[in-house]
Structure 1
């Protein structure tokens, strides 16, 4: 009697409890982009472990190195993948009862080899591109909002004006909800909940921007109410959502910024929305706002990042940043 041939085990999927738990824990301490990237690398590793018959909870450093060598990846991709696996073993340490991290050793070895052979040559540091006063006025003119515009017509213009006057990153603007924007009469501000590195911060609003957002909020509420949303639901929806409750992603905002800057005749359009962030920081420093305050508004990890990027504005060559 013939026996049925053995079927290979199916690779682990997103339903795998180990994968799901690791992503949940990483998401608790990381931003959306890091969680997405690390999740993809971890998923591939767990599938590989399943295929070759290795239990990931008992894998050693050699197994991690074998996985990193199983694909024709560049050194940079291997380092990113090893960092994702390092995070996997860190967050699962208690569950897997491990005190070592096999991915850390592999990552450090790859980093050492990359440095030994020179790696990729770093490009010389360039001054950040910013809009001059005339270019800023061109952008404000082309994104001017009129009372006759509906929500869909206002959205791309309003989000660019918000980026220019708050210095938010594009993903941070996309993730804003109506509850994050506090349009108080005297001190309006917005709250960034999903900043880089998972950090929260508050950013004060220019009074002119606050007035625009009040008008935008009224149009938004009326439009969403007509689409069937209750007033109790709209606060948690993305602030720049459409009538279906969907918002922009980072790539969409990048394309909107490039298209609008190019239409305005601004030759820095290739920079996309980041030129608006640089412009905001430069304007604040030129106005005499202390770098430590601008650092908080920008969401930088350390004030030294601000000094390094905007040294030509701060003129802080003589300042020593503590380590």
Structure 2
């Protein structure tokens, strides 16, 4: 990878607080482009245009992601004086449809929580931890990475709010309901006292001592609970619970701007996807319940 692209990645990390997963994705996209056309800081416009052919077999969403990474790099290169021109206009701009997020129904949420509460009734620390996890994912709409990295001091003392650090290092206050507060209280009493760990959900002892519960382990725990609750594990993840939080709030009449704040979205357009989810639900409801839906169409 060229010195210019390394500097760009360093800027993303230092100035924008980009997450490790984001940096890894940018690195793969930029590295792939440099393998195809050479140093991006010096590549001519026609070479940049040739990337459309390199990406011809990819899905539109993948092409859009790669093009976005390069556009940001070229803007940075111009600002730094490495390039006199910005060849971003030569990049392909596929039109993509944003996929509607997966959402659990209310019956599935009820089954998931019933199973978690049944297991936590034994006061087993791992079961109480899992109950607390799903209370925060569904009850507060946290991202998996936000929940995993929660420090103990983020837990509210005298106010029902969590202090959460989201994408780009942005901090927001997230309300915590009475159920989640009760689960948090139980978990704090049972949480293993690991001196080296400052995290609410520590990974444990051994080589992971001092670290927080990993996102991979979080996914495994959620899917395992779903299976025991009679829910298809493929239909659920920490992010699906976040989607359910947003969709069910919108169904209940929540304002879109309030929802944007709760989810930590920088752009309202990201939050607006949930209006499409709710619209799709209404269309399905009309098609399945309206009296005319069962009548045959006339020739």
Q: Structure 2, unaligned stretches of length 5 or more?
A: 284-299
1:20 Cα deviation after fit: 3.0
Structure 2 partner of 1:42: 30
Sort the Cα spacing of 1:177 and 1:314 in 2 relative to 1 into closer, same or farther, 3 A. Answer: farther
Using the size of structure 2 for normalisation, the TM-score is 0.73
Structure 2 partner of 1:162: 136
Q: CA RMSD in A?
A: 3.5
Deviation digits for residues 206-246 of structure 1, max 9, x if unmatched?
122123223323433x4313xxx2xxxx33x4645333233
Structure 1 partner of 2:70: 85
SS of match in other structure, 2:32: helix
Structure 2 partner of 1:253: 218
Q: Structure 1, unaligned stretches of length 5 or more?
A: 1-11, 316-323
Is 1:23 equivalent to 2:18 in the alignment?
Answer: no
Deviation digits for residues 267-290 of structure 1, max 9, x if unmatched?
585133344223323443455543
SS of match in other structure, 1:74: coil
CA distance in 2, matches of 1:55, 1:281: 43
1:87 Cα deviation after fit: 1.6
- The match for 2:194 among 211, 224, 233 is 224
Structure 2 partner of 1:208: 179
Is 1:149 equivalent to 2:111 in the alignment?
Answer: no
CA distance in 2, matches of 1:310, 1:47: 43
Structure 1 partner of 2:112: 139
Residue 150 of structure 2 contacts residue 201 of structure 2 at CA under 8 Å; is this kept in 1? yes
Is 1:241 equivalent to 2:206 in the alignment?
Answer: no
1:37 Cα deviation after fit: 0.8
SS of match in other structure, 2:41: helix
Residue 169 of structure 1 contacts residue 274 of structure 1 at CA under 8 Å; is this kept in 2? yes
CA distance in 1, matches of 2:257, 2:136: 22
CA distance in 2, matches of 1:71, 1:307: 32
Sort the Cα spacing of 1:311 and 1:191 in 2 relative to 1 into closer, same or farther, 3 A. Answer: farther
Residue 282 of structure 1 contacts residue 313 of structure 1 at CA under 8 Å; is this kept in 2? no
1:205 Cα deviation after fit: 0.5
Using the size of structure 1 for normalisation, the TM-score is 0.68
Residue 128 of structure 1 contacts residue 310 of structure 1 at CA under 8 Å; is this kept in 2? no
Matching of residues 167-186 of structure 1 within 5 Å: 167-179=141-153, 181-185=154-158
Larger Rg: 1
CA distance in 2, matches of 1:310, 1:298: 17
| Number of residue pairs aligned between Structure 1 and Structure 2 | 272
1:264 Cα deviation after fit: 0.4
**Larger mean Cα displacement after TM superposition, 268-277 or 291-300:** 268-277
CA distance in 2, matches of 1:223, 1:47: 49
1:34 Cα deviation after fit: 2.9
SS of match in other structure, 2:193: helix
Structure 2 partner of 1:280: 245
Matching of residues 8-19 of structure 1 within 5 Å: 12=1, 17-19=3-5
1:86 Cα deviation after fit: 1.7
- The match for 2:42 among 30, 55, 58 is 58
SS of match in other structure, 2:12: helix
Residue 104 of structure 2 contacts residue 240 of structure 2 at CA under 8 Å; is this kept in 1? yes
Residue 286 of structure 1 contacts residue 313 of structure 1 at CA under 8 Å; is this kept in 2? no
CA distance in 2, matches of 1:72, 1:313: 34
1:138 Cα deviation after fit: 2.6
